[in-house]
Structure 1
Amino acid sequence: MERKYKIPFALALLSAALIGCSSNKVKEVKVKPNPLPKLAQATSLVPVFSQSVSATSAEDPLRLRLDTDNGTIFIVNPKGGVAAYKGKQRLWETKVSKHELSSGVEAADGLVIVGNKKGQLFALDQATGAQTWTAQLSGAIISPALIQTGRVIVVANDGTVFAFDEATGQQAWTYKLANAQFSLRGQAAPISIDPRTIAVATSNGYIYAIDSLTGVPRMQQRVAVSEGRSDIQRLIDIDGDPVLAGQLLVTTSYQGQVTATDLASRRVVWSEDASSLTRPEVFDNKVFVAETTGKLTAYDLATGQQLWKNEQLLNRDLSNPVVLGQNLVVGDLDGVLHLIDPNTGTIVGRSKTSGEVRFLRVIDNQLYVSTRKGALSIWQNR
């Protein structure tokens, strides 16, 4: 049995900082986050929904992603529960696991899909919350599943991709990814390339394109390169979900690069050094990346040319960036949602939620926010 070592991100950063030190005394280096910049005239967002669930630990990379389908909001509680809301009215709530739920929600085709740390996958009926089927995977489930073309596709923490029949839960196929022996504890979610193809990222800097019906691999492409000498320095995990922009697939990696890959020619169009654990955002022919240092950078989608960079939020543990209306939005360790002009990188406003912002997504021009403290909320422009 292959043994794989998962390293918490905070430990990896500390270890990297200590490499080469001759002293036997380990001193924790505390880096102060940049203070919030003063804004002359700030815009803000309006909250339209909020719900609190259990918090997760600081070392845990869990993204408790909310989802919506047919006007219903579905949320997950790490303590094992799932709930459905119509507006602010709760339609149902059910306990599905005695073990901690560790994936975000995927809701489509009348199903709600969640997973736990023991590798159990649960499919619930959207209308009632009743359990329709369960499946056992080979490792913890720490990223959301993908429902596509009659399949529920999910990646276990040991690098195995599973596909199940969405109606019965019967296993359709598995595919074992080639992962690094050492990696950070995180996992990108599978994304759809077309109705018959998904893309899955790995901890060793590769992207795989796989037939969603048969599990047959269609492409294997390296998109991140490591130049480190130690195991820690060579970590190049792709933990942020890839983003499809036309025929380009945009990826980010830890201690690696932001890369645009042409799926038609199967070649890397451009690649720029950047360290990020979050999903990039692509909008208006621009690629936006939040780096592990807190630097925000915009690149030209076609060429990779740097358009602007913002270093006002250094060391603020930024979430993935998203575009909401006319603004770029990114969250930080204090629960601040920063509004940024996507053309210039200028911070133009902010709003405040509770707890370190772990994940952002935009659905129907509304911002879905999840934090480590368990604050799940939805916001819109004022």
Structure 2
Amino acid sequence: MKTLRAARLGLPIAALAVVLAGCSSPRELVKPTPLTEISNEKPPQVVWSDSSGGDQNNDLTAIAPVESDGRLFVAGPDGDVLAYDLESGDELWSADLDADLSVGGGAGEGLVVFGSDDGRVFALEADSGALRWQTTIRSTVDAAPSVGFGDVAVRGRDGTLAVLDVENGEVRWRQSRSQPPLTLQGQGRVLMFPDALAAGFDDGTLAVYAREDGNEVWSRTVALPTGRTDVDRMVDVDATPVFADGVFYAASYQGKLVALAAQGGRELWSRNFSNANSIAAGSRALYLSDADGVVWAIDRRSGDALWRQSDLAHRGLTGPALIGGYLVVGDREGYVHVLSSASGALLGRADWGDPLIDPILQVDGRGVAVTRDGELRVFTLD
């Protein structure tokens, strides 16, 4: 579930206050679809759990866990970082960044990296939690960092994309895009490749940059702003794009879902869609929830709908996670739902009592999620 933020004073303060005093969008004022009885043949089963830090009941925080080499890393809004063994749930180490965080971390190349609300970036040794380096970018870190190929990619709330040297945190290059007057809170991760980076932006575009020097390779519009008000014109590409078989898939809020060829960005197909949460990809389909809480399976080759599940409409869903061949979503009332990836049928449900942070992770056939009250849970669908 996303909330609004002002990138600059593009709305009158009184009007902005009215918007922010409500929910993420007018859709959230619609009464949630009541749950009906199901067979519950595939309920999520918690393997282990632990209180992993402070609660995230402030909608401006979305600190999801990250995994690397059989270890889970999770942080609280006050900067407390914990590392766990994925299999046993044993705590491996803890660290205090003494910083306010709004987004989760990134892990790889022996590091786990977090960014703070005041623009600091911390790289911790994944084995011990010791600080390897710390640096600063121009703006609040607004997306979980990405780590790979000798680099760390960090995104700022002001539209900055900074690429840092993984060894010492020095800024290798920086790009910046202008921000619309009003955007959704948070941004998607940067996708990293040996020779390129790709990211979606709040202005409704997907851009690819050369990893070595930051030169733009291509940029394509996912959705054009329409409407008279700043709220109507929001087209953030906030979900981390999906890359599979030489194709980028990206979705915007109040806009479109598109497939773009990696070579040159040629549009292969598009369809009207509104999405701001995580997207899962299978061998044939994309799985995502729209702004009304309807879960969809979309054919990757054609963009056609394979099925849609509306029984969870207006329940404030996370994006789906593909776990063991099934789909898992959480809702804002604290229920976790399991769906068939083949048909969308509801197969399982559990009441965890608190909403989940998007995204839910899939690691070796297990699910990993953090609740709004800070509970880290590893679960299966066995």
Candidates 11, 27, 39, aligned match of 2:20: 11
Query: Partners in 2 of 1:261 and 1:12 — Cα distance?
Result: 37
1:204 matches 2:203: yes
Aligned to 1:260: 259
Query: Partners in 2 of 1:245 and 1:8 — Cα distance?
Result: 41
Instruction: Trace 1:292-311 onto structure 2 (pairs within 5 A).
Output: 292-311=291-310
Aligned to 2:93: 92
SS at match of 2:357: strand
Q: CA deviation at 1:119?
A: 1.0
Query: Partners in 1 of 2:342 and 2:18 — Cα distance?
Result: 31
Aligned to 2:283: 284
Given that residues 85 and 92 in structure 1 are in contact (C-alpha distance below 8 angstroms), is that contact kept between their aligned partners in structure 2? yes
Amino acid at match of 1:11: L
Aligned to 2:13: none
Aligned to 1:370: 370
Aligned to 2:66: 67
Query: Partners in 2 of 1:261 and 1:91 — Cα distance?
Result: 41
SS at match of 2:118: coil
Aligned to 1:214: 213
Pick closer, same or farther for the CA change 1:59–1:72 going to 2, 3 Å.
Answer: closer
Instruction: Trace 1:1-382 onto structure 2 (pairs within 5 A).
Output: 4=8, 11=20, 17=26, 30-52=29-51, 53-60=53-60, 62-86=61-85, 87-97=88-98, 99-192=99-192, 194-359=193-358, 360-382=360-382
Amino acid at match of 1:338: H
Given that residues 355 and 375 in structure 1 are in contact (C-alpha distance below 8 angstroms), is that contact kept between their aligned partners in structure 2? no
Given that residues 158 and 178 in structure 2 are in contact (C-alpha distance below 8 angstroms), is that contact kept between their aligned partners in structure 1? no
Query: Partners in 1 of 2:29 and 2:332 — Cα distance?
Result: 15
Query: Partners in 1 of 2:21 and 2:238 — Cα distance?
Result: 14
- 1:89-131 C-alpha deviation (Å, 9 max, x unpaired): 212111112x312221211111110111111110011122111
Name structure 2 gaps, 5 residues minimum: 1-6, 11-15
Larger deviation: 9-18 or 152-161? Answer: 9-18
- 1:13-67 C-alpha deviation (Å, 9 max, x unpaired): 769759xxxxxxxxxx84221111210343112212322221124431x331212
Query: Partners in 1 of 2:231 and 2:296 — Cα distance?
Result: 25
- 1:315-364 C-alpha deviation (Å, 9 max, x unpaired): 11000111111211111112222111111111111233342122212122
SS at match of 1:94: strand
Given that residues 198 and 207 in structure 2 are in contact (C-alpha distance below 8 angstroms), is that contact kept between their aligned partners in structure 1? yes
Given that residues 252 and 279 in structure 1 are in contact (C-alpha distance below 8 angstroms), is that contact kept between their aligned partners in structure 2? no
Given that residues 46 and 378 in structure 2 are in contact (C-alpha distance below 8 angstroms), is that contact kept between their aligned partners in structure 1? yes
SS at match of 2:263: coil
Given that residues 9 and 184 in structure 1 are in contact (C-alpha distance below 8 angstroms), is that contact kept between their aligned partners in structure 2? no
Query: Partners in 2 of 1:15 and 1:246 — Cα distance?
Result: 34
Query: Partners in 2 of 1:133 and 1:43 — Cα distance?
Result: 44
Query: Partners in 2 of 1:16 and 1:141 — Cα distance?
Result: 24
SS at match of 1:358: coil
Given that residues 5 and 183 in structure 1 are in contact (C-alpha distance below 8 angstroms), is that contact kept between their aligned partners in structure 2? no
Using the size of structure 1 for normalisation, the TM-score is: 0.90
Query: Partners in 2 of 1:246 and 1:179 — Cα distance?
Result: 31
SS at match of 2:141: coil
Pick closer, same or farther for the CA change 1:115–1:154 going to 2, 3 Å.
Answer: same
In the alignment of these two chains, the number of paired residues is 368
Amino acid at match of 2:97: V
Pick closer, same or farther for the CA change 1:330–1:48 going to 2, 3 Å.
Answer: same
Pick closer, same or farther for the CA change 1:75–1:102 going to 2, 3 Å.
Answer: same
Query: Partners in 1 of 2:55 and 2:127 — Cα distance?
Result: 27
Pick closer, same or farther for the CA change 1:9–1:54 going to 2, 3 Å.
Answer: farther
CA RMSD of aligned residues (A): 2.3
SS at match of 2:39: coil
Larger deviation: 241-250 or 362-371? Answer: 362-371
Q: CA deviation at 1:10?
A: 6.9
Query: Partners in 2 of 1:267 and 1:246 — Cα distance?
Result: 14
Query: Partners in 2 of 1:59 and 1:178 — Cα distance?
Result: 24
Larger deviation: 158-167 or 68-77? Answer: 68-77
- 1:128-160 C-alpha deviation (Å, 9 max, x unpaired): 211111111111113111112111111011110
Pick closer, same or farther for the CA change 1:293–1:162 going to 2, 3 Å.
Answer: same
Q: CA deviation at 1:225?
A: 2.5
- 1:59-100 C-alpha deviation (Å, 9 max, x unpaired): 31x331212222222111111111112222212111112x31
Query: Partners in 2 of 1:253 and 1:65 — Cα distance?
Result: 21
Amino acid at match of 1:65: A
Percent identity of the aligned residues? 26
Name structure 1 gaps, 5 residues minimum: 19-28
Query: Partners in 2 of 1:49 and 1:67 — Cα distance?
Result: 16
Given that residues 251 and 273 in structure 2 are in contact (C-alpha distance below 8 angstroms), is that contact kept between their aligned partners in structure 1? yes
SS at match of 1:11: helix
Query: Partners in 2 of 1:124 and 1:114 — Cα distance?
Result: 8
Query: Partners in 2 of 1:234 and 1:216 — Cα distance?
Result: 28
